[in-house]
Amino acid sequence: MKNELITRRQAVTGLGVGLAGLAVSPVFGADGVPLTGAAAAALQDPTTKYPRPPFKPQQQPFPGLASKMDPRPDHGEESYKGSGRLAGRKALITGGDSGMGRAAAIAFAREGADVVINYLPAEEEDAKEVIDLITKAGRKGFAIPGDLREESFCKKLVDDSVKRLGGLDIVVSNAARQQTKPSILDISTEDFDATMKTNIYGPFWLLKASIPHLKPGSSIIVTTSEQANDPSPELFDYAQTKAANTSTVRSLAKFLTPKGVRVNGVAPGPIWTPLQVGGGATNEKLKEFGKATPMGRPGQPAELASIYVQLADNSASYSTGQIYGAMGGGGQP
Ligand code: NAD
Ligand code: MG
């Protein structure tokens, strides 16, 4: 009989009380015993959880600061709760001052990892907030500013990270440059070069220097984009660097997986970060930012934090060479 298969937990939390009762129902462990102290997680409607367009016009000089955005992005400062998933791990995150990098830094620290963040000197204000949050989580946080377009700096960043952390086992290659231009015809050689240097050469130098330090069980995570597979005409140079980032994940995974190092990518859709207000999008586009997704709004960096955690965690041991999308219902990773 179908009814006999209904467990006590289902009967109490679901079928018996209906939707309205869910938020206040007791939470039960696997054996049906109430879990004392654990509050039931209230359902959150993702469509109304965060600001929806229209957004105010706003532009900042590249690279932009999260602290000056309106509304301020949510990186999980108030919400991310850790449970020891990355205890004792040693992570280096580029672009860790803001956006997805900051969300990953906060989450990693609250999961028990020590974290180095890299960023540009102009972003010191944002970086300081992140180091404070890492320290408040009871972990060590190190700030190493510098420009990833220089090979010598990439090498030094890795060397210094290894020294300060006492090793390295999570590398998040996340920094990027995105500058919107109407088309290929408006992109200067200097612009093209800066995008290639930041988004392709930087990760190449960073990963090449990191790999010799990574022991089996380590994890590389590369932030790519929906632009890798569905390039916009106004992001001609940026989009092809994201295709390169996706290729990096797939190629490196074939090299490193047999050595016990997993390599995965995160492909965001439109996310509310300084990248977009620091020259990455026009005010016209910002006004409607995220509206075209089925979710009808942009994502917030906090909404991607758990993906970075999962990919670094030992529990994802069979996931490598994969791209994980967070695009609000549209696109393909
Ligand atoms: P962000 O501006 O918060 O982060 C990008 C970071 O890159 C900056 O904080 C900066 O520290 C760093 N950076 C740029 N140039 C650098 C250089 N020369 N040297 C060192 N650091 C440099 O924006 P974000 O959106 O969180 O970007 C993070 C990643 O997400 C990027 O790889 C980006 O391509 C990707 N992404 C973003 C979106 C989006 O809509 N925001 C969508 C898809 C993919
Ligand atoms: Mg920044």
Q: For residue range 58-79, list pLDDT tens digits in order.
A: 999 999 999 999 999 999 999 9
CA nearest ligand 1 atom 9, residue = 95
pTM reported for the whole predicted model: 0.91
Phi-psi sector, 126: left (phi>0), alpha (psi -120 to 50), beta: alpha
Residue scoring higher pLDDT (10 or 309): 309
The two three-digit tokens of residue 298, written as one number: 């942009």
User: Which of 126, 273, 323 has most ligand 1 atoms within 8 Å of its beta carbon, as the pocket-test mutant?
Assistant: 273
Tens digits of per-residue pLDDT, 141-175?
Answer: 999 999 999 999 999 999 999 999 999 999 999 99
Ligand 1 center–CA 238 separation, angstroms = 11
What is the average pLDDT across 96-109? Answer: 99
Q: Is residue 16 over pLDDT 50?
A: no
Q: Is residue 33 over pLDDT 80?
A: no
Measured from the alpha carbon of residue 100, the closest ligand is: 1
pLDDT bracket for residue 36 (50, 70, 90)? low
pLDDT bracket for residue 267 (50, 70, 90)? very high
CA nearest ligand 1 atom 30, residue = 223
Ligand 1 center–CA 108 separation, angstroms = 18
Tens digits of per-residue pLDDT, 313-330?
Answer: 999 999 999 999 999 998
pLDDT bracket for residue 2 (50, 70, 90)? very low
User: Which of 144, 155, 275 has most ligand 1 atoms within 8 Å of its beta carbon, as the pocket-test mutant?
Assistant: 275
How far is the C-alpha of 97 from the C-alpha of 154, rounded, in Å?
17
CA nearest ligand 1 atom 8, residue = 95
Sketch out the chain's domains with CATH numbers: 87-326 (3.40.50.720)
